[in-house]
Amino acid sequence: MDKRKFPRVVARFIVTCNMDRSLEMHMWIGNREIDALMLNLSQEGMAILTQYNVRAGSVISIKFTLINLGTIVDEDRVRSMEMVGKVCYNTLAQGREYRLGISFVRISRKDKEAIANFVRSEIK
């Protein structure tokens, strides 16, 4: 049984992540963008698949474009989003790829609402 507070749905969007520049201990990644594939999404977080071994507890900035063809609100159909998340877990998924569980720590109210609408439209 899923213990999450908010439902997650399978989502396949390209995600761009940057390490929080204030975390000097993560210089091994530097300021380079990390490409990742979103695996699922909720209004409180997401899971991504990436080639980078990002430690749990790391704070990252996240950018992606949400495409929700199931909404009647035009501004929510295609919406570029930016938020800050914290890596809650990191597991070796397959080969050299890592599955990261990310909890949003800073997200706008409008982005959170757009994600909630996306999740509702996908559950139907």
Q: Which segments of the chain have a pLDDT < 70?
A: 1-4, 13-33, 76, 124
Strand partners, 89: 101
Q: List, in sequence order, every beta strand (DSSP E) within 33-107.
A: 34-42, 45-50, 59-67, 78-94, 97-106
Chain centre to alpha carbon of residue 1: 22
**Res 26: pLDDT:** 27
Contact indicator for 34, 26 with CB cutoff of 8 Å: no
pTM beyond 0.85: the answer is no
Domains of the chain as residue ranges with CATH: 9-123 (2.40.10.220)
**Res 110: pLDDT:** 92
